Structure 1
Amino acid sequence: MKHSRITSKGQTTVPKEVRQALGLKPGDLVHYIVLPSGDVRMIAKRPAKDLSGFLHDPKRPAVALDAIEAAIAAGPVVE
C-alpha cells in the first residue's frame, strides 16, 4: 500500500508507483469518486479517443443496424 501526507493546504504528492500505474504525467487531470462506503477512487482522466476499440471483440460477429434499433425499441430485458 502506498501513502502520502496531506499538507496544511490540502495538497499531497501522488506516489511514483501510483502515477506510473495510472499513466499520469505532469498536467494530467484525475477524478475522485467517493463511494457510499466512504472509500475514494482516483481515476486518471482520459481523452474519449482512448476508448476507441475498447468494446471490440474480434470473436463476436457484427450486429446489423436494424437489429440494434429493434433492441433499443424493445427496451430493457427484465428477468
Structure 2
Amino acid sequence: MPRVTSKGQVTIPKEIRDALGIEPGDEIAFEEGESGYTIRRKEPTTEERDDPFEKYRGSAASDETMPDRMRRLRGEYPREVGTEEDDDVEGET
C-alpha cells in the first residue's frame, strides 16, 4: 500500500502507471468524483487546449544527423575543423 511522505509525495504503483500510460515527467490530475478522487495523466495543452507540439510533428525530416542539427541550432555549425591549433601535438615544436 503506497504511503504519503512528509513532502506529500506518493509512489504510484507500476501496474497503475502502466495502465494509465504514466511515464517519468508526465503531469497527472486528481479529479474529485462522487466516490472520491480519480487520477489521470494530463495531456500537454496550451491555453487554447491545443497540443503545443502538434505544429512541430514531422518537421524533423532532414538529412542532417542529430549532432549536426544540434550544432546548427546552437550556432556552432558549421564549425571549422582541422585548424592549426588542432594540429599541434603537445610536446612537438
C-alpha separation in 2, matches of 1:43 and 1:24:
8
Tell me the equivalent position of 2:40: 43
Tell me the equivalent position of 2:3: 5
C-alpha separation in 2, matches of 1:14 and 1:36:
22
C-alpha separation in 2, matches of 1:30 and 1:43:
6
After the TM superposition, which residues 1-79 of structure 1 pair with which residues of structure 2 at under 5 Å, given as runs?
3-37=1-35, 39-47=36-44
TM-score normalised by L of structure 2: 0.44
Q: Please list every run of 5 or more consecutive structure 2 residues that lacks an aligned counterpart in the other structure.
A: 45-49, 52-93
Q: Please list every run of 5 or more consecutive structure 1 residues that lacks an aligned counterpart in the other structure.
A: 50-79
Give runs of ≥4 in structure 1 deviating > 4 Å.
none
Q: What's the CA shift for 1:29?
A: 0.6
The alignment of Structure 1 onto Structure 2 pairs a total of residues equal to 46
Q: Which of the two has higher C-alpha Rg?
A: 2
TM-score normalised by L of structure 1: 0.51
C-alpha separation in 2, matches of 1:40 and 1:16:
19
1 or 2 for the larger relative contact order (CA 8 Å, sep ≥6)? 1
Q: What's the CA shift for 1:9?
A: 1.1
The CA deviation string for residues 44-78 of structure 1, in whole angstroms up to 9 with x for no partner, is: 112456xxxxxxxxxxxxxxxxxxxxxxxxxxxxx
RMSD (Å), alpha carbons: 1.6
